[in-house]
Chain A
Amino acid sequence: MWDAIRVTILLAAVTTPLMLALATPVGWWLAKGGKGSAGWLRDMVAAVVALPIVLPPTVLGFYLLIAMGPNSPLMGLLQPFGVRTLAFTFTGLVIGSLVYSLPFAVQPIRNAFESMGPRPLEVAATLRASPWDAFWSVALPQARRGYVTAALLVFAHTIGEFGVVLMIGGSIPGQTEVVSIRIFQAVEQLNFAEAHLISGGLLAFSFVALIVMLVVDRRFGARSAGIRP
């Protein structure tokens, strides 16, 4: 049980910062770029990013498993570096989590950039801030509420992952076995005490995470930068 908890928290802790870094350019481009003739391209990218919300996790996990298996062309590219497969490894889990939680990071970050409108960046430009400078000194700080929401969602979502992790991670104790899989196995073994313990812990964690999110949202102002219903 403790191994599963350790792996789960490590996975969420590694995934979350990587995810924010990955979702920033995507969210920025969806919010500010792709205007005019590139509008259809933006819709395409937005749809691809949102896919994990509607796709069954097992389908996503299946394709990821194929892509990270030893026979995939993707892994062929990595073979010169001594990597044959990422399936059933912790690194594979991180990659899977990144794909699986992408919409939960991109959406709040995109909303935050969109809701600030063009004005703050125009003001920054008239005050001699280069676009790069303005991004760091104005856009990012003004989008901080979106970032807090994204981080909490991604962390919580990763903690609760099941289908994708099961498909691409197997459930190797101490390496790729996470708490949600541990619960499943405990129940199969009729070990209800352990299932109760972990489930209760996850329930409490999820509740606290949502409360924190609501408090953060309220403290940073009325308009929510979170996922739109």
Chain B
Amino acid sequence: MISIDLSGEIGDLDLSVAFEAGAGLTAIMGPSGSGKTTLLRAIAGLERLSGRVQVGDAVWQEGQSFVPVHKRAVGYVFQEPSLFSHLSVEGNLAFALKRNLKGADRAAIIDLLRIGALLPRNVARLSGGERQRVAMARALLSGPELLLMDEPLSSLDQAARAEILPLIRDVAARVPVLYVSHDPLEVARLTERVIYMENGQLSGRPAVTLDGLSQAEIEALAMKALGYEIARPSAANSRLSSDG
């Protein structure tokens, strides 16, 4: 059980959020600048807000007590792949495993994320999708009680996303995940539990409007929701923006 109650000001943002989440994947959605990343960073302890954070039996923050990041059983997958450039794939995984005191099933995690063949590789020679898979494996090997993922697919192309989405579901079966995204289609394929944020506060589910979209764009959205990649014959491959 994850229980979050955080508030405070960081930069221009006045954030105040309280919610609980259980096992599996909970998505956090909202427009950019709504405070999703700040919230994740505060849960990890990378930013300091006031309030309370509890994950399982461990209280990470309450009143004046603030457990530093490196003493929290938290995993974090950043928006851009953040592998250590001075280590190989193998070295990146070993970094996490070495500091995980309770141990982890290395073979199972490597298998889960299908990175066995990548182990000896230099991280600079990996594709974006491969890097995020290694980053997820590395986070899991550190033995987290909660995995935070900040738009891990946003820098990837459509093919890599399609490949990784089901892996994220498998990961969420092992450890609770808070997953920040602003892509409704991506979230729809991952979970039904969604928290919406706006201007640093929780908000209700925004009404979906199709105003201003062309017929072709609505069709494209529907196709994308069903998992199809659309090659449009007209307009020289001007594909519907997938980073939106």
Contact = CB atoms under 8 A, between A and B. Distances in A.
B84 A126 contact: no
Nearest to B86: A141
B50 to A, nearest CB: 19
Contact of B138 (A122, A127, A137, A138): A127
Nearest to B83: A123
Contacts of A134: 70
Contact of B100 (A124, A128, A141, A144): A128
Interface in A93-135: 119-120, 122-131, 133-134
A127 B86 contact: no
A125 B82 contact: no
Contacts of B96: 127-128
Contacts, number: 60
A142 interface: yes
Interface in B93-139: 95-96, 99-101, 138-139
B70 A131 contact: yes
B230 interface: no
Given A128-B99, A128-B142, A129-B99, A123 B70 contact: no
B75 A126 contact: yes
B63 to A, nearest CB: 22
A46 to B, nearest CB: 26
Query: What band does the interface of chain B fall in when counting residues whose beta carbon is under 8 Å from A?
Result: 20 to 34
A125 B70 contact: yes
A119 B82 contact: yes
A126 B143 CA distance: 11
Nearest to B85: A142
Nearest to A125: B69
Contacts of B70: 124-131, 133-134
A126 B139 contact: yes
A126 B142 contact: yes
A125 B67 CA distance: 12
A120 B84 CA distance: 7
A131 B76 CA distance: 17
B184 to A, nearest CB: 27
Contacts of A142: 84-86
Contacts of A120: 82, 84
Interface string A137-167: 1100110100000000000000000000000
A131 B139 CA distance: 18
B25 interface: no
Interface string A59-76: 000000000000000000
A137 B95 contact: yes
B78 interface: yes
A20 B201 CA distance: 48
B223 interface: no
A130 B98 CA distance: 13
B44 interface: yes
Contacts of B68: 125
A156 B167 CA distance: 53
B86 A122 contact: no
Contacts of B101: 128
B86 to A, nearest CB: 4
Contacts of B45: 125
A19 B142 CA distance: 36
9 contacts: A125-B70, A127-B70, A128-B96, A128-B100, A129-B70, A133-B70, A137-B95, A138-B86, A141-B86
Interface of A: 119-120, 122-131, 133-134, 137-138, 141-142, 144
Interface of B: 44-46, 68-71, 74-76, 78, 82, 84-86, 95-96, 99-101, 138-139, 142
Given A126-B44, A128-B70, A128-B142, 7 more contacts: A123-B78, A124-B95, A127-B96, A127-B142, A128-B99, A138-B84, A142-B84
